[in-house]
Chain A
C-alpha cells in the first residue's frame, strides 16, 4: 500500500474539460470517496491514476514515484470497473487467477490457489468457482470483479461505482464487506460513487468534484457539516438541504443571499408560520413538506405527528448555513 498524490491533474476530451487542475493526497491506508454527479470527472480521475488515460497536465505519483511514464501494468494498481467486465471466455476461477498469472506477478500455482480460495470465500463465491463467468447473476459477477482486484496486493485499489448495478440488499452487504476488507488489509482505496450513503459509511475522506474541479476534500463529517458551497452541501444529506432566500428570516450575515437549511437546522414550534403541504411516511423517516411564502421546503418530523396537510406550523432557523449569490459559503461571524 502507498500514498498516492495527484498534483495539478488535467484532462480534456476535445472541447470538454473532464478533469481540471485536481490536486489531492490520498494517504496510505485511507478510504477516499470521490463524489459528484455524472460528468463531474470522477471516472476520468480514476483512469488517469490507472494509466488508461494520459493527463494533459499534472502528475500522479504512487508511493513517491512519479508514474507518468509507467504503463497501467507497471503502476501496480487494481481497478474494479462499473461494468462487471469479467473475461467471458474464462471460468470464475480463471478470472480470479488472471492477474496473478500475469508476467508481472507470475505467482506460483499453490500461491494462486490459496489466494483465489481466500478471496472467493470472503466474497461468498467459492461455490461458483468453476462456473463460466457468463453464467453468473449480476451480483455474483460484480463480486468476482471485486475479487479480481482483491487477489492482488496493489499499491491502491481503484473502484468505479462497483455497487451501482446491484440491488439494495446486496449493496448494503457488500458495502460492509468492502469496508471490512479495506480495514483488514490496511488497503488504500479510491472509490467513485454518486451514492451518498456509500460515501458517508465507507469513506475516511471525501473529495467532491464539480465539473472536473475538486471543490472540497475532507472527512465525511466535515463535508456534511461544513460545506464550502451550496453545490457541496447538496451532495450529502437526505432529504436534501433546503435553499431559500436569506431575507425570509432575519439575522443573515452581510453578503448572504441564500440560507441553507438541513432538517436539523429547522427548529419547529417557534418563528414564522409555514403551511404543511404534505406529510410523507417513508418508514425510517417522516418528511414534512412545507410552504413558506410560496417557497417549498422539506424537513423531518416525528413518525406519529398529528400534523396533516393544511395545518400550520411555526419554524425558525437554528444555526443554519449561509451562502453568497454565487453559491460560496459565508461563515457567520467571520
Chain B
C-alpha cells in the first residue's frame, strides 16, 4: 500500500514546532517590550543594560492621561499632602497634576474616524459588490479594474492634491474629512473582497425569495446579507486596521480637533523623554482593534454554508 500523503515523522514535527515557537517569539518580542515599558519608571525604561525584571509602576499611564506642573517646595507645602495614588506618583518629582492630557480626545477621534470609515466602507462596499455581482453593469470589468487601480500606488502619493483639496473644501482637521478619506482608500479593498464573497452565494436563493413574494431589496436584506456575514466581518476588520493605524495622512491633515492617536502618541515624548507614557499610549491604542477582532471572530468561522445548494 502506498499513500501520497505521509504522516510527518516525530523529528519533522518537533522541528516544525520549534520554528513556529521561534517565529512567534520574534514577532511577540517588540509587543511584549512595549507593554512592559508602559509599566516601567522613566529611569528603568532607559536603563542600560535593559532591565527585564523591574518594579512595575503606573507612572507611564498617569503621565499619559495628565499634564503636570513643577512647583517650588514652598508652593507644594501650601498644597499639603497628596491625596490620591496618582497624585503621589507625580509628587515624587515635585510636580502636581494640572489637568487631563489630550490623549483621551485623540483616542476618541481615532474611534470616531476608524469605526465611522469602517462602517461607511463596508456599507457602500456591500451595495457596490452586490450590484457588480448580480446586475449587468455597463463596463463592469473596466469599473472593477478602475476601483482596484485606486490602490495601485500608495495613497500617500496623492498627499499633496488631497491636502490642497481638503483646504479648499474646509475638510482639513475635521472628522468628516478623515472619514471620507479613509473610506475612499478602503473602498476598493472592500468592494473586491465583498464581491468575492457575494459571488459565492448562489443566485437561486434570491430567485426563490423573489418568487416567494419578496422585492429585490427585501431578498437582498433577508437572504443575501445573513449569508454574507463572514465576508462583511472580515472586510470590516481589514478596513478598521487600516484606518486605525494610518499615520501619514493623519499627520498631514489633522492637528487639533480631528487629530487621531497615531500622530499624537509620538508628541508625548517631547514632554520629557517619557518613554513609559509613549509605551502606555501605544498599548492602550492596540486594545480596540484586538477587541473588535475577537468580537467578530465567530462570524469569521461561522456561516460557511455547505450543502444547502447542490453544485
Chain A contacts to B: CB under 8 angstroms:
50-52, 71-73, 77-79, 81-89, 98-99, 102-105, 133-134, 138, 141, 148, 165
Contacts and interface: CB of A to CB of B under 8 A. Distances in A.
A116 to B, nearest CB: 14
B211 A85 contact: no
A60 to B, nearest CB: 14
Interface stretch (B46-54, B155-163, B189-197, B213-221): B213-221
Interface stretch (B16-24, B32-40, B286-294, B303-311): B303-311
A121 B20 CA distance: 55
A99 B211 CA distance: 8
A74 B309 CA distance: 25
Contact of B310 (A84, A89, A99, A104): A84
Contact of B210 (A72, A133, A141): A72
B308 A85 contact: yes
Contacts of A86: 308
Nearest to A52: B207
B303 A89 contact: yes
A87 B210 contact: no
Q: Do most interface residues of chain A lie in helix, strand or loop, or is the interface mixed?
A: loop
Contacts of A103: 213-215, 218
Contacts of B218: 102-103
A105 B218 CA distance: 14
Given A79-B208, A103-B218, A138-B310, A88 B213 contact: no
Contacts of B311: 83
B126 interface: no
Nearest to B214: A102
A148 B208 CA distance: 10
Contacts of A105: 213
Nearest to A82: B310
A71 B310 CA distance: 26
- B211, B215, B218, B303: which has the most chain A beta carbons within 10 Å? B211
Contacts of A71: 210, 215
B309 A85 contact: yes
B213 A52 contact: no
Given A85-B202, A89-B303, A50 B310 contact: no
Max chain A Cβ within 10 angstroms of own Cβ: one of B208, B210, B227, B311: B208
A85 B205 contact: yes
B212 interface: yes
B78 interface: no
Identify the interface centre among B210, B212, B303: most chain A CB within 10 Å of its CB: B212
Nearest to A151: B212
A87 B210 CA distance: 13
Contact of A83 (B202, B227, B303): B202
B205, B207, B308, most chain A CB atoms within 10 A: B308
B223 interface: yes
Contacts of A141: 308
Contacts of B207: 50, 52, 72, 79, 81, 85
A69 B202 CA distance: 26
Nearest to A77: B211
B77 interface: no
9 closest A-B pairs by CB:
A102-B213, A104-B213, A88-B308, A88-B305, A99-B212, A85-B204, A72-B210, A89-B226, A83-B309
11 contacts: A51-B211, A52-B210, A73-B210, A73-B213, A84-B308, A85-B202, A85-B205, A87-B209, A103-B215, A103-B218, A134-B308
A133 B308 contact: yes
A134 B305 CA distance: 7
Interface in B262-311: 303, 305-311
Q: Interface centre among B209, B306, B310, by most A CB within 10 Å?
A: B310
A91 to B, nearest CB: 12
Contact of A99 (B213, B227, B303, B308): B213
A138 to B, nearest CB: 7
Given A88-B305, A103-B214, 16 more contacts: A51-B211, A73-B210, A73-B213, A78-B212, A79-B211, A81-B208, A82-B310, A83-B310, A83-B311, A85-B205, A85-B207, A87-B205, A89-B226, A89-B303, A102-B218, A105-B213
